[in-house]
Structure 1
Amino acid sequence: MTAPQADGLRLRTAPPRRRAWRAQAPVVAVVALGGALGALARYALSLALPTPAGGFPWATFWTNVTGCAVIGVFMVVVTDVWAAHRLVRPFFGTGVLGGFTTFSTYAVDIQKLVSSGHARTGLAYLALTLCAALAAVSLAVAATRRALRGRAGTTA
């Protein structure tokens, strides 16, 4: 195989890895920016709802449940309603909501509660967060689809 030629000269092309990075650089940038914004919002919520030692981690609980509900609404809107720009999902879904929700802190909170002698609170937190987060995303998807059907029915 020979390299492409123009007027007898060989054209230089960027290696495939460099082209792939250039295509992904905007995605990485918007995920980073969105993640920073989401993490700041989560931090503000943790300051507003501090958790006493051995207490139920309400800030992390509400962060994760709210984030799951918002991702349910968001995914319906960007898949069923709006032809979003290619960077909207990485920015908002992966970045903002990924930075906002914190299932790693959820796991650490459980471990801290159990190891400090508050196993009941830790297990209640484990079960309640899991059930509430799954319910939040499911209900948000269903409610958003229902609202969109209702809106489409009233305009027709």
Structure 2
Amino acid sequence: MTTLLLVALGGALGAPLRYLTDRVVQARHDSVFPWGTFAVNATGSLLLGLVAGLAPPGWLTALLATGFLGALTTFSTFGYETVRLARDGAWFFAYANVLGSVSAGLGAAYVGLAVAQALAG
């Protein structure tokens, strides 16, 4: 039960932060490309790599990785926005979103893991 509450608490913090970050980032770009979702997913991947590399105790992993970062990042919105771009005929942006988001997410997770390993020395 404690783990469930930690996940819920992390999610309650991560979800609104994702929404607000998405709105702030997207408002600064005059483009159909979903920069807000891209930013939160890349940042979340970096932080998740860092958390995974530091291997905190289970309760902290539940709070940070599963709850907070799970709610901060969003695969469903990424999928929806990609389909919307394709449906609207913005094929270049749809393909760029897929290639860019997957590359940035994997690269950021790798960097986060490498930073954690360097910190653990």
TM-score normalised by length of structure 1 = 0.71
Percent identity over paired residues = 30
Matched residues in 2 for 1:144 and 1:87: separation?
Answer: 19
Flag the structure with higher helix content. Answer: 2
Higher Rg of the two aligned structures: 1
Q: For the Cα contact (< 8 Å) 1:54–1:116, is it kept in 2?
A: no
Q: For the Cα contact (< 8 Å) 2:51–2:116, is it kept in 1?
A: no
2:94 equivalent in structure 1 = 122
Q: 1:70 aligns with which of 47, 51, 68?
A: 47
- Runs of 4+ residues deviating >2 angstroms: 50-54
2:47 matches 1:47: no
Please report how far the alpha carbon of residue 53 of structure 1 lies from its aligned counterpart in structure 2 after TM superposition: 8.5
Matched residues in 1 for 2:64 and 2:112: separation?
Answer: 16
- The Cα offsets for residues 26-65 of structure 1, whole Å up to 9 and x where unpaired, read as 1111111111100011011022022679611111001001
- The Cα offsets for residues 101-136 of structure 1, whole Å up to 9 and x where unpaired, read as 001100000000000110110111111100110011
Matched residues in 1 for 2:26 and 2:104: separation?
Answer: 20
- SS at structure 2 position matched to 1:71: helix
- SS at structure 2 position matched to 1:50: helix
2:67 equivalent in structure 1 = 95
2:103 equivalent in structure 1 = 131
1:99-118, aligned counterparts within 5 Å?
Answer: 99-118=71-90
Please report how far the alpha carbon of residue 146 of structure 1 lies from its aligned counterpart in structure 2 after TM superposition: 2.1
What is the RMSD computed on CA atoms of the aligned residues? 1.7
Matched residue count: 120
Q: Which has the higher contact order (CA 8 A, sep 6+)?
A: 2
In structure 1, the gaps of 5 or more residues are 1-24, 150-156
- SS at structure 1 position matched to 2:26: coil
Matched residues in 1 for 2:83 and 2:23: separation?
Answer: 21
